[in-house]
A and B are shown apart, each in its own frame.
Chain A
Amino acid sequence: MDRIARFGAWCLAQVVSMGAGARLFWILLLASPAALARPRLVIDQLHVIGNRSLVIITVSGLFVGFVLGLQGYTTLQRYGSSEALGLLVALSLVRELGPVVSALLFAGRAGTSLTAEIGLMKAGEQLAAMEMMAVDPIRRVLAPRFVAAVVAMPLLAAIFSAIGILGGWAVGVLLIGVDSGAFWSQMQTGVDWRSDVLNGVIKSAVFGLVCAYTALQVGYSAQPTPEGVSRATTVTVVASSLAVLGFDFILTALMFAST
């Protein structure tokens, strides 16, 4: 009997937290246009979220491109079609690796800092103090971060893909000696700007939305204690990585299933 009651309480708590999460998402979406009207806050957050993620994004993009060039070449060479290396590198980066890997890095690099910041603001009762001064913390603190993350993510993913393609070119053409003209022309005939590049951008915008919302929601609902904040940062990484992978499957199935 006691167990059934506990299960019921657990179910209720889940429903309540789901409702609170959905409500926060809705409020964030509604507050986003208002946040754009105060670009100062968004620019500051773009600096924190975007500029400071640039190093990890470019370096990992470059090395992913290097590895794609090497691995792709050894496999393609077996079928005597090593000229298709450019196509392989560009398609895998633009369609999948660019959006997904940069979103995973983004969740680790920027998502955790967002969660920790919001969680500590809550623990230090800064958010409560704002409410006392009739300043809505969701509009003043959360919404600019949300907008900045949604804007920064597609740009970071595009930088990742572009640097990765240059890395693949460096290994394939400069190091191994694949013909440079074939590398680019195969890429250009095989990559479509709408169905590949644009869909990659849409993907990464959705991932930015997912990562930012997860980080902010987890930070906002964290226990206001040191342990609570540390647990919340862990939850952010795990939850947003899993959400990115899940959304990637759904989006890929929707975008590329027909072709």
Chain B
Amino acid sequence: MTASRRAIDLMVGGFVLLGLAALVFLALKAANLGSFASGPTYDVQARFDNIGGLKPRAPVKSAGVVVGRVAAISFDDQAYQARVVLNLDARYQFPQDTSAKILTSGLLGEQYIGLEPGGDTRMLAGGGVIRMTQSAVVLENLISQFLFSKAAEPAAAPAGSASGSKP
């Protein structure tokens, strides 16, 4: 037993290192630690009428590049709107008239916030508010709009008198 002591130590050390390497692999290669780790960030607020299925930690993209993450979502009972806090990477600056849209990646993909920069010379700072926002597209509203417009079509075509009840 004493002769193989060194061998045992070596093998146990190898085992522990292998396990730690597997953990590092999981954290860096499989998960998002490192891709958007711990650079300096600043918070910006945006208000939406409807956020659809947006979740905290959803990406914030501009021109398709991830520039931040959704930090928090809460409900504002004064304006009856959703208040979304965006955590943006401090490397990127955006004009004050930047607009925010809630978009969906793919047909069934996750929802993210797209930023479209405006032309203002003043930049958004920490604690700033994005004024122009566009809500998420809710599938039920889209379908009901489509159905109503379909139903209105044949009635409107021969008579030509719009009843004005189009939603």
Contact = CB atoms under 8 A, between A and B. Distances in A.
Q: Is the interface of A mostly helix, strand, loop or mixed?
A: helix
B59 interface: yes
Interface in A19-62: 43-44, 46-47, 50-51, 54
B104 to A, nearest CB: 13
Contacts, number: 91
A90 B28 CA distance: 13
- The prevalent SS among residues of B at the interface is helix
A162 B26 contact: yes
A243 interface: no
Interface in B29-49: 29-33, 35
Given A44-B8, A51-B11, A159-B22, A94 B16 contact: no
A155 B15 contact: yes
Contacts of A79: 108
Given A47-B12, A191-B30, A81 B108 contact: yes
A150 to B, nearest CB: 13
Nearest to A196: B31
Interface residues of B, number: 27
Interface residues of A, number: 33
B106 interface: yes
A163 B19 CA distance: 11
A166 to B, nearest CB: 9
Given A50-B12, A50-B15, A81-B108, A189 B32 contact: yes
Given A188-B31, A188-B32, A162 B25 contact: yes
A112 interface: no
Contacts of A200: 26
Contacts of B18: 54, 155, 159
Given A155-B22, A197-B30, 11 more contacts: A43-B8, A54-B15, A152-B15, A154-B19, A158-B23, A162-B22, A187-B30, A188-B31, A189-B59, A192-B31, A197-B23
Interface of B: 8-9, 11-12, 14-16, 18-23, 25-27, 29-33, 35, 57, 59, 106, 108, 110
27 contacts: A46-B16, A47-B11, A50-B16, A54-B15, A94-B30, A155-B15, A155-B19, A155-B20, A155-B23, A158-B23, A158-B26, A161-B22, A162-B26, A165-B25, A165-B26, A188-B31, A188-B32, A188-B35, A189-B32, A189-B59, A192-B32, A192-B57, A193-B26, A193-B27, A193-B31, A193-B32, A200-B26
